[in-house]
Chains A and B, each alone.
Chain A
Amino acid sequence: MAKRLLQGNEAVLLGAVKAGATYFAGYPISPSSEVLMAASVYAASHPELRFLQAEDEIASANAIIGASLAGAKSFTATSGPGFSLMQEAIGYAHKLGVPTVFVDVQRVGPATGMPTMPGQGDILQTRYGSSGDYTSIVFYPSTVAECYEYTIRAFNCAEESRSPVVLLSDAFLGHLNEVVDLDAIRVPVVERTLEPLASGHTRLFSGVATYPDGEPATADADEFIRQYEEAKARRLEVSERYAFHEYGWNKDADTLVIAFGITRRIAQPLAPHFALFRPIRIWPVLQDELREIAPRYRRIVVIEGSDGQYASVVERVLYRDVYRVPLLGGRMSLEAVREGLDRIGLLPAELAEAAV
C-alpha cells in the first residue's frame, strides 16, 4: 500500500487488527475515543472483529478478559480516569494470566483532570495501579508508525507472557497524523497458544488463590509463592525479548536526556547538545541498559509529563540523583522544556538565543 496520512489512535486499531485481534470492548473517553470509533467502523464491515461499547470501563475491562479466556485476542482503549476504573480487572487478569491488551491514551490527571490536554502521569499507575504484587509489561511508542508497530508487539508479548500488556499513548500522539507506509512495518504475529473455553476441560477462573485443580489455596504461602514466582519469571524472561529503546543524539555530550512518548519528539531540538535515552519498554524498567549507559554522563535529565514519576524510577535503578523537567498541566511544548532546563541551569546558550 502507498504512503498515507494516519492518526495515532487509528494506527493502534490497525495494529490490533494486524495482530489478529477479534474482540474490542470499550467506553468512550477523550483522547482515546478514536480507537473505539475506528474499531466500531472496522467491525461494521469486518464481522471477524467483535465490537462492544460497554456501559463503563469496568465492564469493558472484564469483557476483554472474558473474551480472551474464550479464545479471542482482545483489547480495550481508554484514558487515565478509565484506566483507574480498570485496575481491579487488570489485577484479575494478572492473577489468571490472561493475554490481552490495554491501551491508555494519557491526559492530565488525577480524576477527570484536563480533558483533553496531554499528560504522562500514568507511568506508575501502569506498574502499581492494582493491588498486590504482579509484573507489568508496558510499551510507549513515539510516532504514528510506532503506534502501529508496538500495538502488534503488545499483542505478541501478551501471548508469550500470558499477561495483560499495556500500550501507553498520550493526547498528542493519539491525535497526531503522520505519513506512514504500514506495509513497510513487518512484525511477525505470535499466534494464540492457550486453549479456548469449550476445549473439553473444566477450568476455574478465580481471583482467589487456588491450587491447579481449583481447590482454594488461601492459606498456603508456599503454593502462592510458587505460582507468583513462576508468573514473574515468565514475564521477565519474555520481556527480555522486548527490551526496545533508543540511544542516540549527541552521545559525546556530558548530559543524558531521558524522554519517552511524545516528550521525546518535543525535545528533538535539543539533539545537538545532549545524548538521548528513550525507553520504549517502560516496564519492566530497562535496568541493564540504563546502568550501562548512565555512567558515561555527568548529568542525567528526565523530561516527562508528570512530576518525576519516571525520574524516581531512574534514581532507584541508578542509585544517583537526576535532574527533573516536569511538563505539567498540558504544557508540553519546547518552550516549557526550555524553561525547565533554564531553571536547573542546563539550557544551552544556542537554544536560549533561538527563543523569539
Chain B
Amino acid sequence: MERSIIFAGFGGQGILFAGHVLAQGAMDEGAEVLWIPSYGPEMRGGTASCTVIIGDEPIGSPIVDHPDAAVVFNPPSLAKFGPIVMPGGVLVVNDSLIEAVSGRDDVDEVRVRCTQLAQEAGDDRLINVVALGALVARAPLVRPESIRAALREIVGRKRPEALEIDLRAFDLGLASASQAPSAPAAQAATWSDVGAAR
C-alpha cells in the first residue's frame, strides 16, 4: 500500500521542509519513503511543491497524478491540487491565506488558521509545521511521536534553539484538526477507503 501527499505553496513557505519532516518520520517507523521537490521558475513567486510517498514496499513511480492528501498554503495551490486529491482523501487548507474552498464534497477538507496558530506557538513562519500537525491528525500516515522525533533530529541538529517552538507549533496544528468538524460528505468516505479507486 502506498500513500502519497503533496505539499504546495509559495517558495519560502517551508513546503520542502514539511515534506522532509514527514519523510523522515515515516522512515524512522521503518517505512519505504520517497520525497521529491518540484521547483524551477516557481521558486520566484509561483507554486512550489513537493511530494512524499510512504509505502511498505519500495516505491514505484515518484510522480503522482492523484495524491491521497494535499496540504495547500496559497490560493494557486488550492486551485491546482484541490481538484486532483483522491476521493476520500484529505485536503489541508491554510485558512489564513486562502478564502476559497475546494468545492469538493468527497474529500475531508480541513481548514487551519496556520498563521494564527504559528504566532501562538511563537514564530509566525511555522505555518508549515502547524499544517503538518493538522495533516497527521486527519490522515494517519505517521504517528505524531515520530514527527516529533523527526523535528528533534532535523531542527535539533541545525537550530536547537528553535526546537521547542517547532514542537509547540506541531502540537497546536495537531490539536486544531483533531477538534475541527469534517466536511459532512467526507464522513462517509473514510481515510482507509482512499485509493480504492486505483
Contact = CB atoms under 8 A, between A and B. Distances in A.
A356 B62 contact: no
Given A177-B23, A177-B35, A179-B32, A266 B63 contact: yes
B61 A269 contact: yes
B65 A175 contact: no
A5 B31 CA distance: 11
A334 B61 CA distance: 8
B159 interface: no
Interface in A128-151: 143
Nearest to B52: A177
Interface string B79-106: 0000010110000000000000000000
A114 B39 CA distance: 12
Contacts of B20: 5, 177
Interface in A30-73: 30
Given A5-B27, A178-B33, A354-B197, A116 B40 contact: yes
Given A5-B35, A30-B40, A176 B62 contact: yes
B23 A334 contact: no
A118 B20 CA distance: 21
Interface in B31-66: 32-37, 39-41, 58-63, 65-66
Nearest to B33: A179
A340 interface: no
B65 A179 contact: no
Contacts of B63: 172, 265-266, 332-334
Nearest to B35: A177
B29 to A, nearest CB: 11
B198 interface: yes
A269 B195 CA distance: 14
Contacts of A300: none
B115 interface: no
A355 B87 CA distance: 12
A3 B34 CA distance: 13
A33 to B, nearest CB: 12
A174 to B, nearest CB: 10
A195 to B, nearest CB: 43
Nearest to A107: B40
Contact of A262 (B37, B62, B86): B62
A175 B87 contact: no
B24 interface: yes
Interface string B131-160: 000000000000000000000000000000
A117 interface: yes
Max chain A C-beta neighbours (<10 A), residue from B23, B37, B61: B61
Contact of A266 (B33, B61, B197): B61
Nearest to B60: A268
Contacts of A354: 197-198
A17 B198 CA distance: 42
A270 to B, nearest CB: 10
Interface in A305-356: 332-335, 354-356
A186 to B, nearest CB: 19
Chain B CB within 10 Å — which of A3, A115, A177 has the most? A177
A175 B37 contact: yes
B40 A356 contact: no
Nearest to B86: A356
B65 A335 contact: yes
Interface string A234-274: 00000000000000000000000000001001111101000
A267 B36 contact: no
Contacts of B87: 356
A177 B40 contact: no
Contacts of A355: 65
Nearest to A338: B65
A333 B65 contact: yes
Contacts of A117: 40
B33 A5 contact: yes
19 contacts: A5-B20, A5-B24, A114-B40, A115-B41, A116-B39, A175-B37, A176-B35, A176-B36, A177-B35, A177-B36, A178-B59, A262-B62, A265-B60, A265-B61, A332-B63, A334-B65, A354-B197, A355-B65, A356-B86
Given A5-B23, A5-B27, A176-B36, 10 more contacts: A5-B24, A115-B41, A172-B36, A172-B62, A178-B33, A178-B34, A179-B27, A266-B63, A335-B65, A356-B84
Nearest 4 pairs of A and B residues by beta carbon: A268-B60, A177-B35, A116-B40, A268-B61
